[in-house]
Amino acid sequence: CWYHLPEEKLVSNRHMAMEIKASLLLLIFLSYAIVSFSLYEDQVGLMDWHQRYIGKVKHAVFHTQKAGRKRVIVSTEENVVASPDLRHGEIFWRYVLGTKDAIDGVDIALGKYVITLSSQGSMLRAWNLPDGQMVWKTSLHSAQSSKSLLSVPINLKVDKDYPILAFGGGYLHAVSAIDGEVLWKKDFTAEGFEVQRILQPHESSIIYVLGFLHSSKAVVYQIDPRTGKVVAQKSMVVPGGFSGVILSVSSDKVVVLDSTRSILVTINFLDGDISFHKTPVSDLVEDSGNAEILSPRLSNMLAVKVNKRTIFVRVGGEGKLEVVDSLSDETAMSDSLPVTDDQVAFASVHHEGSKIHLMVKLVDDLDTVLLRESIEMDQHRGRVDKVFINNYIKTDRSNGFRALIVMEDHSLLLLQQGAIVWSREEGLASVTDVTTAELPVEKDGVSVAKVEHTLVDWLKGHMLKLKGSLLLASPEDVAAIQEMRMKSSGRSKLTRDHNGFRKLFIALTRAGKLFALYTGDGRIVWSMLLNSPSKSEACERPSGISLYQWQVPHHHAMDENPYVLVVGRCGSDSSAPGVLSFVDFYTGKEISSSDIGHSVVRVMPLPFTDSTEQRLHLIADTEGHVHLYPKTSEALRIFQRDFQNVYWYTVEGDDGIIRGHGMKSSCAGETADEYCFTTKELWTVVFPSESEKIISTLIRKPNEVVHTQAKVNTDQDLLYKYVSRNLLFVATVSPKGAGEIGSVTPEESALVVYLIDTITGRILHRLSHQGCQGPVHANWVVYHYFNLRAHKYEVTVVEIYDQSRAENKNVWKLVLGKHNLTAPISSYSRPEMFTKSQSYFFAQLVKTIAVTSTAKGITSKQLLIGTIGDQILALDKRFVNLSQAEKEEGIIPLTDSLPIIPQSYITHSLKVEGLRCIVTAPAKLESTTYVFAYGVDLFYKRLAPSKTYDSLTDDFSYALLLITIVALVAAIYITWVVLEKKELSEKWR
């Protein structure tokens, strides 16, 4: 997955005695015909769900003038441009732009096109407002990286054309809104001029372009919008320079802060003249510190943040500033909005207890409050981050207001008439880590029969199903069946079930919020925003890094709740102090949280638990120390016992070094902390930096289950898999090949893959692919890369076999016990091994690879391939089975490329936009596994790679079975009666 590097592996030399079972089941599965996992259209939504998100909103533009659908256009931090409906919040249309195509500005032109400026001001696109079809696209010239700016003048018309002005990369472009033609461009690269604001005074045919030169000189260009010629130019050096944004308060005035952040400079440029007026912030408020101009655009007024207060400063006629109001720090404000012909209003939102207060005031007269609403708000949404307002005319001709607010947890809400009309949990568009949790055990008193109806209802339901399966059902029947399926008993109940189908997925988002998603229908059971334990200023809101299962009770499952450990960090820097939080899986309540006082580099769950079933965790910090959690003497005692057997590794990607570490001693000498330990370096693998660069590392899944070590080859040979989990997969490419696909020739690039033992640092296997390059996406051990010679993507499978057990082929040896299979395997030993590998072409780029995991590892595995089209393809492991390449007996014909069967897309006709990661978890039932995929969208599916061989499917028709039994009994009875009569008559004869 993209968000975090693979965690290191911890090892103990606990002897793993592997039992060998001649697995008849395996043979049965092998003899199965190829079952591609496929789906009927009416089964959609039975075992899967899909949720569409857009991400944290950056800009929003309302489009409500015309009758018809009221909508809003938003652009988000996930590079999404979308149009949600204002009534219900569902998405009309949505586009996810490329990862390097961040949106800088969005606006509406001509009342029918949505204009987006992206890629640092070098890409301008127009989308059709009603259906989102892209109308035109223009690539703008850019020479350097600079901030970008989009301006759609409202009433500027040049020869039947409506120009859009876009600045980016040192060039100012005027682009026709109708067809995207570039009308003119102005080169500012030579001067290094950065446009900050484009203004068009009313009734003026001249546009004013304001900006800074090297942030010390303010320049105003007057440009003729027809030709792009500079009509006049004025500049003035401001000693001290500028900092931050320029804020236009009216059509001829802008305000900016100087570089000391203590003087406000008002720039007046009436009729081409520029004048400056400086006002120290200390004149406005006493005891001022560093000031910050807030971004909302208010007319003739600006909001400045000083000393944790927000002050409103009115800009007078000659640039005179005066303070008119001051508010608390936690107030979010919207841009101003014309309400009537001469009145302008703006909205402000602030928190008070569990409520938020929304106020719409007139800019000219702050005492006139047009709207005052208090709305109950969930505490776990945090503070209000952004506000966008829009007005509408009520039936009584007064003004009504609706406000779109973005909260700290990235959620998007629409407020109207004192209520939350709709809300969208957009935090889920940036999931960083996912873990699974069991639901609580069903306790006495909770009736199961409630959901099951009477026998008659049950039979009726099954009769309907039977009709459906015989395709005799009428459309009404079909609808009834579908409804019945959707609310079938199992899906709505939040308790543990026998098959383990019902579970919770706990997702941690970038905003530091935890969500518990119910696998049945994808609803959010609880959500929780992480809080800083100390409420300190430095760390108001920690960001979440990863999740671990802290305590999973088995002995007292009835009366103890499991806990999840959330590891967070104050700030984005890796040396920032960490925060631990313990959250109840069932209720979402934070049990405790603590500042741990050291940084978090790695978190290593140990294979030990204490008497309360709390799992021991080690946390490594930047100083080379590791810290043991939980900090109890019992945990310390358990850890001391296996102190010498704990190893881990670190990867220094930039230097091309992989280091193995072991424990040294308690760091009692340096600190009094007895849970802190020092480490020692055990081994290093250094890759030659001139020829190899690490691009991917991966470890085996710690919870992977191998049912049988033995594998029967097609030539009746017995092979033993190498089952050690202390393996690290490392892929390196030549430094030249680390770039993009088009940037290198086949001769220059080579891909090398290593398998390294993380205990001893021994390189077990090295495989080199000439003429190939990254990006490499791997899963144990199937990896995907690009072959430059064939110009195709390739997938390679590597299997590792243990040579030391290879002699145990003789049946007599096994029978007489003269085998070494029960001999313990030690991680320190150096077993002989051999590897086999095979490469296939694959027609699509792969974003991520996952493998299904089941409870016992008996069920055959499927590779889950996240493709470039954001779909997930399930590929049976047998397609990449190595033995079939060696013998003709292969079940699947040997090909040089992996097949893409459309029916085996588990996402069927859906897309998981922006797919980043696929997580699989086993169900209790051996045949079943869960798949949870996240990106901008979320997708969940319950999958049975070899079909549900151990349980009846949902579609199983009990009615048919009953009818058959009844019919058979009746037939037996009738035939018996007939026979009786016949025999009797025969005897009379």
Partner 1 sequence: MAPIIRSSPALAFLVLQISLIFFASTLPYSSGSEDSYTITGRVKIPPSNVIGHLSKFSNVKVILNGGQSVTFLRPDGYFSFHKVPAGTHLIEVSAMGYFFSPVRVDVSARHHGKVHATLTETRRSLTELVLEPLREEHYYEIREPFSILSIVKSPMGLMVGFMVVVVFLMPKLMENIDPEEMKQAQEEMRRQGVPSLSSLLPGAGASR
- Per the CB < 8 A criterion, the answer to whether 659 and 713 are in contact is no
| Residue 188 found at the interface with partner 1 (CB under 8 A) | no
**Burial class for 220, CB neighbours closer than 10 Å (0-12, 13-18, 19+):** buried
For residues 919 and 852, the answer to whether their CB atoms sit within 8 Å is no
Site track 855-894 with partner 1 (rule: CB under 8 A), x = hit:
------------xxxx------------------------
Q: Is position 205 an interface residue for partner 1 (rule: CB under 8 A)?
A: no
Q: How far is the CB of 791 from partner 1 (least distance, A)?
A: 4
Quick one: 670 or 983, whose CB is closer to partner 1? 983
Q: From the CB of 751, what's the least distance to partner 1, in Å?
A: 15
Spatial distance between the Cα atoms of 865 and 852, rounded to a whole number of angstroms? 11
Burial (CB count within 10 angstroms: exposed 0-12, middle 13-18, buried 19+), residue 932:
buried
Q: Does 134 bind partner 1 (CB under 8 A)?
A: yes
165 forms bridges with which residues in the sheet? 151, 174
* The one among 12, 13, 23, 38 contacting partner 1 by CB under 8 A: 38
Q: Residue 690 — left, alpha, or beta (φ > 0 → left; ψ -120 to 50 → alpha)? A: alpha
905: which DSSP letter? Answer: B
Report yes or no: 262 and 288 within 8 Å, Cβ to Cβ.
Answer: yes
C-alpha distances in angstroms, 232 versus 164, 208, 248, 363?
21, 10, 20, 33
Q: Kindly write out the interface string for residues 768-807 of this chain, putting x where it contacts partner 1 by CB under 8 A and - elsewhere.
A: -------x----------x-x-xxxx--------------
Q: Is 240 left (phi over 0), alpha (psi -120 to 50) or beta?
A: left
> Closest CB to partner 1 among 468 and 512?
468
Q: Is 954 among the residues that bind partner 1 (CB under 8 A)?
A: no
Closest CA to 955 of 519, 492, 488: 488
Instruction: Name the one range near partner 1 by CB under 8 A: 347-355, 700-708, 857-865, 895-903.
Output: 895-903
Smallest separation, CB 744 to partner 1 (Å): 8
The neighbouring-strand residues paired with 856 are none
CB of 967 to partner 1, least distance (A): 11
135 binds partner 1 (CB under 8 A): yes
Distance CA 859, CA 950 (A): 10
User: Residue 113 interacts with partner 1 (CB under 8 A)?
Assistant: no
**Helices 958-988 and 455-469, axial angle in degrees (round to 10):** 90
String of contacts with partner 1 for each residue 553-582, x by CB under 8 A: ------------------------------
Q: Are strands 412-416 and 309-315 parallel, antiparallel or unpaired?
A: unpaired
* Smallest separation (angstroms) from partner 1 to the CB of 656: 24
Task: Tell which phi-psi region holds residue 489, choosing left (phi > 0), alpha (psi between -120 and 50) or beta.
Answer: alpha
Task: Identify whether the C-beta of residue 106 lies closer than 8 Å to the C-beta of residue 150.
Answer: yes
Spell 904-915 as b/e; 16+ CB within 10 A means b.
bbbbbebbbbbb
**CB-based contacts of 126, cutoff 8 Å, min separation 6:** 109, 113, 114, 115, 134, 135, 136, 137, 177, 180
List of E strands, 269-365: 275-280, 292-293, 301-306, 309-315, 321-328, 332-333, 337-338, 344-352, 355-362
Residue 122 — φ and ψ, nearest 5°? -110, 0
In the complex, what is the shortest distance from the CB of residue 958 to partner 1, in angstroms, rounded to a whole number? 17
Strand partners, 333: 348
Binding segment toward partner 1, per CB under 8 A, in 212-220, 341-349, 465-473, 513-521:
465-473
534, 743, 768, 770: which one contacts partner 1 (CB under 8 A)?
A: 743
Q: Binding of partner 1 at residue 736 (CB under 8 A)?
A: no
Residue 131 is a binding residue for partner 1 (CB under 8 A): yes
Give the interface segment with partner 1, choosing from 33-41, 148-156, 381-389, 599-607 (CB under 8 A). Answer: 33-41
421 vs 741, beta carbon nearer partner 1 = 741
470 binds partner 1 (CB under 8 A): yes
Nearest residue (CB) to partner 1, 317 versus 475? 475
Residues 961-980 that bind partner 1 (CB under 8 A): 976, 979-980
Output 645 or 844, the one with its CB closest to partner 1. Answer: 844
Beta bridge partners of 627: 619, 676
Cα separation, 300 vs 306, in Å, equals: 19
The residue assigned the tokens 């969500």 is 515
Of the residues 100, 160, 397, 443, which one makes contact with partner 1 according to CB under 8 A: 100
49 binds partner 1 (CB under 8 A): no
Comparison of 99 and 684: residue with beta carbon closer to partner 1? 99
Q: Kindly tell me which of 427 and 914 has the beta carbon lying closer to partner 1.
A: 914
Compute the least distance from the CB of residue 752 to partner 1, in Å.
20
Judged by beta carbon, residue 158 or residue 464, the one nearer partner 1 is: 464
Strand-pair category, 344-352 with 355-362: antiparallel
Name which of 98 and 571 has its Cβ closer to partner 1.
Answer: 98
- By beta-carbon proximity to partner 1, the closer residue of 640 and 743 is 743
Figure out which of the listed residues 903, 952, 967, 968 binds partner 1, where binding follows CB under 8 A: 903
Stretch that binds partner 1, among 331-339, 720-728, 908-916, 938-946 (CB under 8 A): 908-916
40 makes contact with partner 1 (CB under 8 A): yes
Buried b (16+ CB within 10 A) or exposed e, 337-358: bebeeebbbbbbbbbeeeebeb
| CB 317 to partner 1: min, Å | 47
Which residue stretch of 24-32, 136-144, 300-308, 539-547 sits at the interface with partner 1 (rule: CB under 8 A)? 136-144
Spatial separation of the C-alpha atoms in residues 314 and 320, rounded to whole Å: 8
- Number of shown-chain residues binding partner 1 (CB under 8 A): 57
Instruction: Extract the tokens encoding 683.
Output: 């081994």
The nearest distance, CB 95 to partner 1, in angstroms, is 7
Question: Which span sits near partner 1 by CB under 8 A: 46-54, 568-576, 843-851, 886-894?
Answer: 843-851
| Candidate residues 472, 672, 815, 816; the one interacting with partner 1 per rule CB under 8 A | 472
- The 10 Å Cβ neighbour count of residue 487 is 11
User: How near is the Cβ of 247 to partner 1 at its closest, in Å?
Assistant: 33
* Binding residues vs partner 1 (CB under 8 A): 38-42, 44, 93, 95, 97-101, 125, 131-137, 139, 141, 143, 470-472, 740-743, 745, 775, 786, 788, 790-793, 843-845, 867-870, 900, 902-903, 905, 908-909, 911, 976, 979-980, 983
